[in-house]
Amino acid sequence: MKPSDQIIEEWLVINCQAGDRKSLELLVKRWNSKMIGRVYNTTRDASATKDIVQEAWIVIIKKLKTLRDPSAFQGWSLRIATTMSIDWIRSNQVNRKREAIREQAQAEFDDNTSRAPEKTLKALKVAIDQMPKEQRSVIQLFYQENLSIITIAGILELPVGTIKSRLFRGREHLKNILENKFYEDEKE
């Protein structure tokens, strides 16, 4: 985040804590799409994402006055959304497994005549979906949401070293899966 963006965000948070509704609207407008992306990357469910984000904003608005450091808003708010997403996943585990199997089967039966970049992107998506949950969430936060390792550590409430090792293992896991996939494709 640019320093000027950080200053604006802190100013909005301080004004929200003072009860300024316009600042709250601007803060929600500024962060809603990132929160939607974060929740969707965790849940992989579009309809649940809308509900979770709405509930997360309710919690954030209620607890905003307890936030002592306005510069920590990004990690704090995304941590709330992530925690609520994880709670939703736990309560819907069976449905998630069925959906993952369906998505994997769909990916396997996709048309082989598609262009190479599309095949690569599909293979990457399938590979990410096959990763262990801990690695997948770090990979998504780092690459898809462009968050720093420190911010990710705050969101997931883990040490920076743990985030770095999960990121490393996740990259290695993706590399192995994709190398095997392309090797199998060449054999066919």
Q: Which amino acid is at 14?
A: I
**30: Cβ contacts below 8 Å, ≥ 6 apart:** 9, 12
Report pTM: 0.56
Residue 82: which of 129, 147, 21 has the closest Cα? 147
CA separation, residue 104 to residues 2, 21, 179 (Å): 38, 45, 18
**Tokens, residue 44:** 């992989």
Structural domains present in the chain: 3-91 (1.10.1740.10), 93-187 (1.10.10.10)
Residue/partner pairs of 159-168 with CB below 8 Å, 24 or more apart = 163/138, 166/134, 166/135, 166/138, 167/135, 167/138, 167/139, 167/142
Residue 110 pLDDT: 58
pLDDT digit string, tens, across residues 160-170: 999 999 999 98
Asked if 146 contacts 171 with a C-beta cutoff of 8 angstroms, the reply is no
pLDDT in tens, 105-121: 667 655 444 445 677 77
Q: pLDDT tens, 1-37? A: 567 778 888 898 898 899 889 998 999 999 999 999 9
Q: HSE (CB half, 13 Å, CA atoms) of 4?
A: 0
- What CA–CA distance (Å, rounded) separates 119 from 186? 13
Give the span between the Cα atoms of 60 and 54, in whole angstroms.
10
Residues 53-98: tens digit of each pLDDT: 999 999 999 999 999 999 899 899 999 999 999 988 888 776 657 6
Q: Is residue 9 within 8 Å of residue 74, measured between CB atoms?
A: yes
Q: What is the pLDDT of residue 112?
A: 44
| pLDDT above 90: percentage of residues in the chain | 34
